[in-house]
Amino acid sequence: TDTQQLLRGRRCILLLSWEERYTDGSKWRFLEHKGPVFAPPYEPLPDKVKFYYDGKAMKLSAPAEEVATFFAKMLEHEYTTKDIFRKNFFKDWRKEMTSEEKSKITDLNKCNFSEMSEYFKAQSEARKQMSKEEKLKIKEENEKTLQEYGFCIMDNHKERIGNFRIEPPGLFRGRGDHPKMGMLKRRIRPEDIIINCSKDSKHPKPPPGSKWKEVRHDNKVTWLVSWTENIQGSIKYIMLNPSSRIKGEKDWQKYETARRLKKCVDRIRSQYRDDWKSKEMRIRQRAVALYFIDKLALRAGNEKEEGETADTVGCCSLRVEHIKLYPKIDEQEYVVEFDFLGKDSIRYYNKIPVEKRVFKNLQLFLENKQPEDDLFDRLNTSILNKHLQELMDGLTAKVFRTYNASITLQQQLKELTCPDDSIPAKILSYNRANRAVAILCNHQRAPPKTFEKSMQTLQTKIDEKQNQLSTARKQLKSAKADHKASHDDKSKKAVEVKRKAVQRIEEQLMKLQVQATDREENKQIALGTSKLNYLDPRISVAWCKKWDVSIEKIYNKTQREKFAWAIDMAEEDYEF
């Protein structure tokens, strides 16, 4: 498969990379690629498909017709009823018209695109009805394009390129009520394109008769192609795929740093515990903050708090009003209650017992302060980060999160996986372990709007399956009775067939029930963020190998590409 092809050789790439890292700050020495794949040129409509203005058929010039087709393709979408969308579209469309067209077509309400719209609907219907051979042919053509344009050579490695196709022109949609919706997203031409490659490489050729805007050789950046898009004026890039060496290596280093923390975390912990007794207030505050970061996986806090509109905080910027101290509550001693808005304005709420010394220190920090005062008045993010660097090279608050998330995943997997479980039950255990981490990292979400409905659908399926099962059981019972009466081979076979049917339905039912449990438990938890950013993929890969669960059940396609480095180098030194 695709992915397997990509993975080949990954291990040796990573083992080589330490000596290939350049000391002069450059990202590559050699970069060769074929440039982008442009959107196919516009194909004029057949003559029989007419556009009507004010009830009369009218043949449009090719540029005006092309833009009209963008609108026609969206005709059934709510967008085309919105005033801003219509206004922006009409203004941009008129720019593409000949002067004669401009003078005739003055009111969008008099334009009738319905034949065009019908034509495109029929075309998309025809595409769905294509024969196997036709589909295969398209697939082969895509594969050929991928082989030609989808890879580049960066230094000594062939790397997959992310999005080498340039988006076709169309009408800008934007999110929500974007003021620019309906504007014409122009066709990108070779003259818009800046190519980045090395001087000594074979430069990509522009399509015949055209020229690149510029060819440059900047090895401090990793993009291959860039252009400026006309709606927002933002710069677009073609870059390497996340599975590429440069990106994979960064990811790998992150988890290696977390592993290094594992080796020295005991030393760090005993040091901050000593520091709780320090004579210096700033050191005590630093030590308590570090304890929170370690124990609660809190973020350090923003470096640039000014200019932030949302009032979100991290560990260093906690204020007096964000915590409450209870010397004794609910049978527990020394309890701290946290309640604040963290990153992306997600509420962090937690009530946990802490060590006595931490509690006493917190009481001290709170003395003579107002609710809006800083809890740690002798500490800020840069001081804390500097201290972390001194404790271990590359250490940040995030490394504690990564470390704790990864080790928690490993412990949970070990605890939750039963060797005798079926594959679906094992996957449920994996998701539960993943959820434990997401809760630790405070990755909550609002239940999806479709939640109730999709649960209902699933419940209906379960009910149906249950009915099927009782029918199948009855049939098995009567087949057994028949066999008892006749004792012939035919009835014996019938019993076997019915028994298998019952077994199969039982398995299907179990799968559905596991799915329902999983979905219910996942209602308010977002698994993606921790999976993508905090969990060492090597743990998941090793778990899959150990229990013979295919990796596709744990990671989807994008995730498999991102973690290609880990999938290939899975180590066996995890215990589950």
Ligand X SMILES: *[C@@H]1O[C@H](CO)[C@@H](O)[C@H](O)[C@H]1NC(C)=O
Number of H helices, E strands in the chain: 19, 15
| CA angle 75–77–78, rounded 5-degree value | 120
Among 271, 332, 382, 467, binds ligand X (CB under 6 A): 382
Nearer to ligand X, 462 or 532 (CB): 532
R_g over Cα of the chain: 31
State both tokens at 468. Answer: 């099927």
Nearer to ligand X, 57 or 481 (CB): 57
**Positions in 504-523 near ligand X (CB under 6 A):** none
Contact call for residue 115 and ligand X (CB under 6 A): yes
Instruction: Clarify whether 534 is annotated catalytic.
Output: yes
Nearer to ligand X, 430 or 502 (CB): 430
Among 58, 383, 392, 516, binds ligand X (CB under 6 A): 383
Contact call for residue 120 and ligand X (CB under 6 A): no
Nearer to ligand X, 379 or 476 (CB): 379
Task: State in angstroms the smallest separation of the CB of 163 from ligand X.
Answer: 14
Alpha-carbon distance of 176 to 10, in angstroms, equals 42
Nearest residue to ligand X on Cβ basis: 528
* Torsion sign over Cα 282, 284, 289, 294: positive
Task: State in angstroms the smallest separation of the CB of 409 from ligand X.
Answer: 11
**Positions in 413-442 near ligand X (CB under 6 A):** 440
350 and 298 Cβ atoms separated by less than 8 Å: no
Contact call for residue 218 and ligand X (CB under 6 A): yes
Strand partners, 196: 216
User: CA-CA-CA-CA torsion for 290, 292, 295, 300, nearest 10 degrees?
Assistant: -70
Task: State in angstroms the smallest separation of the CB of 346 from ligand X.
Answer: 17
| CA angle 49–52–58, rounded 5-degree value | 80
Alpha-carbon distance of 410 to 576, in angstroms, equals 7
Nearer to ligand X, 37 or 221 (CB): 221
41 and 70 Cβ atoms separated by less than 8 Å: no
**Positions in 285-314 near ligand X (CB under 6 A):** 295-297
Q: Which of 149, 534, 555, 574 is catalytic?
A: 534
Contact call for residue 52 and ligand X (CB under 6 A): yes
Among 4, 61, 114, 142, binds ligand X (CB under 6 A): 114
Contact call for residue 332 and ligand X (CB under 6 A): no
DSSP conformation letters of 95-147: HHS-HHHHHH---GGGEE-HHHHHHHHHHHHHHHT--HHHHHHHHHHHHHHHH
Nearer to ligand X, 302 or 491 (CB): 302
Q: Could you identify the residue written with the tokens 């556009």? A: 51
Which one of the spans 95-103, 204-212, 524-532, 535-543 is the region binding ligand X (CB under 6 A)?
524-532
Alpha-carbon distance of 16 to 475, in angstroms, equals 63
Alpha-carbon distance of 281 to 301, in angstroms, equals 20
Task: State in angstroms the smallest separation of the CB of 119 from ligand X.
Answer: 11
- Give 477's contacts (C-beta < 8 A, 6+ positions apart): none
242 and 162 Cβ atoms separated by less than 8 Å: yes
Task: State in angstroms the smallest separation of the CB of 220 from ligand X.
Answer: 7
**How many Cα atoms sit within 13 Å of 381 on the Cβ side?**
17
Which one of the spans 67-75, 215-223, 485-493, 560-568 is the region binding ligand X (CB under 6 A)?
215-223
Q: How many residues make contact with ligand X (CB under 6 A)? A: 25
Closest CA to 247 of 178, 154, 333: 154
150 and 238 Cβ atoms separated by less than 8 Å: no
Task: State in angstroms the smallest separation of the CB of 226 from ligand X.
Answer: 7
Nearer to ligand X, 15 or 352 (CB): 352
Contact call for residue 350 and ligand X (CB under 6 A): no
Contact call for residue 163 and ligand X (CB under 6 A): no
Closest CA to 152 of 140, 144, 164: 164
Task: State in angstroms the smallest separation of the CB of 167 from ligand X.
Answer: 18
Q: Binding string, 73-112, against ligand X, x = CB under 6 A?
A: ---------------------------------------x
Contact call for residue 557 and ligand X (CB under 6 A): yes
DSSP category for residue 345: G
Nearer to ligand X, 9 or 447 (CB): 447
Contact call for residue 267 and ligand X (CB under 6 A): no
Contact call for residue 210 and ligand X (CB under 6 A): no
Contact call for residue 380 and ligand X (CB under 6 A): yes
- Write phi, then psi, for 229 (nearest 5 degrees): -85, 150
Q: What is the maximal distance between C-alpha atoms in the chain?
A: 93
Pairing of strands 184-185, 170-171: antiparallel
Among 42, 90, 223, 576, binds ligand X (CB under 6 A): 223
Nearer to ligand X, 115 or 337 (CB): 115
Contact call for residue 216 and ligand X (CB under 6 A): yes
Residues with catalytic annotation? 534
Binding site for ligand X (CB under 6 A): 52, 112, 114-115, 216, 218, 221, 223, 295-297, 380, 382-383, 404, 407-408, 440, 528, 531-532, 556-559
